[in-house]
Amino acid sequence: MSDLERMDISPQEREARIQLAAAYRIFDMLGWSELIYNHISLRVPGEPQHFLLNPFGLRYDEVCASNLVKVDGEGRIIGSSRWPINPAGFTFHGAIHRTLPEAHCVMHVHTTPTMAVCCLDSGLDFSNFYAAQLWGKVAYHEFEGITVHAEEGARILASAVGKPVLLLRNHGPVVIGFGLAQAFSLMWLLQRACEVQLATASMGAARQIAEPVLAGCVRDSLNFNPKFGAGQDAFDALRRKVERMDPSYRD
């Protein structure tokens, strides 16, 4: 019997833990991890005030379903855990989850391309295929230092103004999704958009896309549409790859 099977939790939480652990392994496989830092948080099904988060001190390739930490909206650990959580991580995760019932998954990374764009005065340039699908979905928050002060959580939430992508200036991106796969789709698009933007900048000025075309790209993109799975198929494809590499995330 695995550690996960020994836990007294609902079948829904068990599946959520497996999905979230897979996400951490996917991030590690894609090179989106940052030592033991950054976070993906997920609301526990049937427990709207409880969330799952990575244990502070473990690399993403060490995260598994049973060692994910359950916390409440204030970051207090529910049940028992061998590991703490990073208080800097749940400052804004908690504020977003507590305030937005539809915010079931929140992701924050420090990848080089996304951080570089966050450090630009102009921010994200809607001049490529990936960025075009995020037109009208991006907001910004001014840098206030390390996010360890609870009161900044409310200001970060206010800066988001209902947008699913929030670029923390001089820091890194936050994406807010109604599900894990949909949040991953947002992060994937943002990562690729920033990679292409940096590559384009090395060659000269980007050719801009007309606003009506940008609006059409957002309308026609299937990445976020629940009717078409909201990114679940892409997430599942990467999970299968993780499964072949190391199925221990399920434990």
Is the per-residue pLDDT at 224 higher than 70?
no
Please, which pLDDT band fits residue 90 given cuts at 50, 70 and 90?
confident
Question: For residue 228, what pLDDT is reported?
Answer: 64
pLDDT of 226 reads 67
Question: Which residues, at least 6 apart from 78, have a Cβ–Cβ distance to it below 8 Å?
Answer: 50, 70, 71, 72
Any alpha helices (H) in the chain, and if so which ranges?
3-6, 11-30, 87-99, 112-118, 129-132, 150-160, 180-201, 211-220, 232-245
d(CA 41, CA 212): 35
Domain range annotation of the chain: 3-250
Q: Is the pLDDT of residue 197 over 90?
A: yes
Lowest mean pLDDT among 7-21, 65-79, 224-238: 224-238
| pLDDT greater than 80 at residue 170 | yes
- Residue 119, both tokens: 């450090």
CA separation for the pair 210, 74 (Å, rounded): 43
Which tens digits make up the pLDDT trace of 29-64?
999 999 999 999 999 999 999 999 999 999 999 999
DSSP per position, 137-185? -EEEE---SSS--HHHHHHHHHHHTT-SEEEETTTEEEEEESSHHHHHH
> 63-86: per-residue pLDDT in tens?
999 999 999 988 899 988 999 998
**What kind of architecture, by CATH, is found in domain 3-250?**
3-Layer(aba) Sandwich (3.40)
For residue 227, pLDDT over 80 is answered with no
Higher-pLDDT residue of 114 and 156 is 114
CA distance 135 to 129: 11
Mean pLDDT lowest among 67-71, 155-159, 210-214: 155-159
